[in-house]
């Protein structure tokens, strides 16, 4: 059941947004699903759309005890994304990136720099197209065949984003330029080539990004370095 968004100019809901509906889905915070009969959405309020969209949703939830309770959650919708681990089996290396991440800077990361796998939002692309775009923009490598690894909700307590994970080989022939990201988007991205054993050893110290840790562990447990 959909309840019109209260406290918001309805025309605002018609503006383009990075919401789930833009990525092939028919539901979003503003048009919630009805697939779970234990959930009845009663109110949706748009709190902010300054960059992406922050909603406060009130819903009734039927617990295991058979009692209905009213709950309220805030959800941040920034769209879905994709990430990729570039690897070279012969060299036993992986290609990672480093960039300044302000949210980490204000939460215990002294210089704000984060080592990551190449990643970005889908925008209007499908996941594979998007990650090919991000790989060449950030690392300078135009990859060939990519392997879809898995899809994961990264912060399901408050963020709607689903991240699509990929992996692909790289070598000297896939390199087209130095990478570094898009200057007009304010990106200043370093490219790091690490030995896979060194990268694994840095988990929890120098490497503290969740998506990167997941792909590195996949690479040694089930992927190209197993």
Give per-10-residue mean pLDDT for the chain (226 aa). Answer: 38 37 62 96 96 96 98 96 98 98 97 98 96 97 97 96 98 94 82 98 98 98 98
Give me the pLDDT at residue 26, please. 59
Q: What is the C-alpha separation between 163 and 152, in angstroms, rounded?
A: 5
Domain 81-221, CATH among 3.90.79.10, 3.20.20.140, 3.30.479.30, 3.40.50.10190: 3.90.79.10
Q: Are strands 81-88 and 68-77 parallel, antiparallel or unpaired?
A: unpaired
Considering Cα of 104, then 108, then 157, then 50, what sign does the dihedral take?
negative
Stretch(es) of the chain classified as CATH 3.90.79.10 = 81-221
DSSP E strands, the chain: 39-48, 53-62, 68-77, 81-88, 93-100, 113-116, 118-121, 147-153, 162-169, 190-195
What burial class does residue 110 get, using C-beta atoms within 10 Å of its C-beta: 0-12 exposed, 13-18 middle, 19+ buried? exposed
What is the structure's pLDDT at 187? Answer: 77
Q: Are 122 and 80 in contact (CB under 8 A)?
A: yes
Q: What is the pLDDT of residues 7-52, one digit of tens each?
A: 333 333 333 333 443 434 458 889 999 999 999 999 999 999 998 9
| Mean pLDDT for the chain overall | 89
Q: Please check whether residue 134 is in contact with residue 84, taking contact to mean a CB–CB distance below 8 angstroms.
A: yes
């Amino acid at each position: 059941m959909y309840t019109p968004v209260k406290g918001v100019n309805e025309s605002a809901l018609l503006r383009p947004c990075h919401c789930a509906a833009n990525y092939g889905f028919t539901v979003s915070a503003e048009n919630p699903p009805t697939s779970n009969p234990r959930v009845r959405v009663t109110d949706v309020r748009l709190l902010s759309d300054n960059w992406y969209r922050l909603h406060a949703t009130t819903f009734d939830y039927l617990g295991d005890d058979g009692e209905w309770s009213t709950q309220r959650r805030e959800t941040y919708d920034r769209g879905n994304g994709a990430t990729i681990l570039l690897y070279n089996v012969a060299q036993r290396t992986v290609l990672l990136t480093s960039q300044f991440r302000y949210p980490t800077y204000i939460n215990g990361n002294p210089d704000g720099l984060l080592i990551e796998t190449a990643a970005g939002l889908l925008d209007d692309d499908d996941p594979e197209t998007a990650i090919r775009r991000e790989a060449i923009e950030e690392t300078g490598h135009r990859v060939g065949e990519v392997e879809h690894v898995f899809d994961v909700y990264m912060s399901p307590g408050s963020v709607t984003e689903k991240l699509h994970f990929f992996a692909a080989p790289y070598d000297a022939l896939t390199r087209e330029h130095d990478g570094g990201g898009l200057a007009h988007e304010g990106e200043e991205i370093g490219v790091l080539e690490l030995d896979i054993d060194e990268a694994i050893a840095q988990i929890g110290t120098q490497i503290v990004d969740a998506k990167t840790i997941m792909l590195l562990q996949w690479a040694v447990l089930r992927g190209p370095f197993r």
